[in-house]
Amino acid sequence: MLPPNSFVGKVAFITGGGTGLGKGMTSALSSLGAQCFIASRKLDVLKETAEEISTKTGNKVHAVQCDVREPSSVEAAVKQMISIAGLPSVVINNAAGNFISPTERLSPNAWKTITDIVLNGTAYVTLEIGKELIKAKKGAAFLSITTPYAETGSGFVVPSSSAKAGVEALSKSLSAEWGRYGLRFNVIQSGPIKTKGAFSRLDPSGKFENIMTDRLPTGRLGTVEEIANLASYLCSDYASWISGAVIRFDGGNYVSIAGEFNELRKVTKEEWNVMEAMIRKTKGS
């Protein structure tokens, strides 16, 4: 956790802040002094979260209805924030839509729905707020939440992996172009963290959680608090020279799956004794 008051006097705009990881990141920023605006479609969920966090931290959290797929909705949400608190210093593009499906089962509208939320939604929020910040000559930290398959691709979540790849390209591109305006852009590629929103759509039967956990070198999923701490750091002034970064946050999962010989973890001590003796015997041959 960063020093208390690290975000005092700062405004943060978090899409999808009513649930899951967005709620965790809002809670962390609020407890560090930020005035947060959480934006998504379900106003009742947002209001409940805003009330819960404000009561806990003593800092106001505002609930703003917004469908990131609609530029006019994004514009209205941003206007609402500006009229109450001014421009933000922190923008977290966290809202997403996703579900597992064999790609041949997807309709054009299924593809459009996911890519509209993930890629276009991130772009609309970034453009709307970015333009205002540039006009006002105010710096800010932008953060997007993706996942390692944005880089590798992944079957069965193809609209999500394609859109998340676009989000990473957007972040890196604007880091280069808008750095001169004092705007920083970073990405957290998160591995699996159990939230209702994600697991109900990616592991509806509950069958894959154990497989996922077994594959992780840490032997466990990530936690909401862990990603909230990293997000707070990246959006804080302590990270003022970090921009254009894509930070893999997955308990070592990516390198563990990729490493050619990592399956040798399963070899027992006795088997190693035998294999070592066999290797030593080949000396000089």
Query: Which of ligand NAP, ligand HXC, none does 45 bind, CB closer than 5 to 8 A by kind?
Result: ligand NAP
Q: Which does 145 bind (CB under 5 to 8 A by kind): ligand HXC, ligand NAP, none?
A: ligand NAP
**252 is a site residue for ligand HXC (CB under 6 A):** no
Least Cβ distance, residue 194 to ligand NAP (angstroms): 7
What gap in Å lies between CA 275 and CA 268, rounded to an integer? 10
Considering beta carbons, is residue 198 or 239 the nearer one to ligand HXC? 198
Comparison of 210 and 273: residue with beta carbon closer to ligand NAP: 210
Cβ 191 vs Cβ 222: under 8 Å? yes
Report how far residue 162's alpha carbon sits from residue 119's, in angstroms, rounded to the nearest whole number. 9
Query: Which long-range contacts (C-beta less than 8 Å, at least 24 apart) are formed by 173-180?
Result: 174/126, 174/130, 174/142, 175/243, 175/244, 176/244, 178/130, 178/134, 179/243
Position 97 contacts ligand HXC (CB under 6 A): yes
Cα–Cα distances (Å) from 132 to 120, 181, 282, in that order, read 18, 11, 69
CB atoms inside a 10 Å sphere around CB 137: 8
Given the rule CB under 6 A, which of 44-52, 136-144, 197-205, 241-249 is the region that contacts ligand HXC?
Answer: 197-205
Q: Determine which one of 124, 149, 238, 254 is catalytic.
A: 149
Per CB under 6 A, contacts with ligand HXC among 36-95 are none
Check if the beta carbon of residue 276 is closer than 8 Å to that of residue 219. Answer: no
- Residues whose CB is less than 8 angstroms from the CB of residue 57 and which lie 6 or more positions away in sequence, other chains included: 27, 30, 31
**Dihedral over alpha carbons 177, 2, 46, 132 (to 10 degrees):** -30
Residue 149 among the catalytic residues: yes
Residues that bind ligand NAP (CB under 6 A): 15-16, 18-22, 40-42, 45, 66-69, 94-98, 117, 121, 145, 147, 190, 192-193, 195, 197-198
CA 116 to mean position of chain CA atoms: 17
CB 230 within 8 Å of CB 249: yes
Q: Which of 5, 55, 72, 109 binds ligand HXC (CB under 6 A)?
A: 109
The size of the interface with ligand HXC (CB under 6 A), counted in residues, is 19
Closest chain position to ligand NAP (CB): 197
Show the binding pattern over residues 134-153: x = contacts ligand HXC (CB under 6 A), - = does not: -------------x------
Please identify which residue in 101, 162, 213, 229 interacts with ligand HXC, judged by CB under 6 A.
101
Give the binding site for ligand HXC (CB under 6 A).
Answer: 96-99, 101, 105-107, 109-110, 113-114, 147, 160, 192, 197-198, 201-202
- Report the catalytic residues: 149
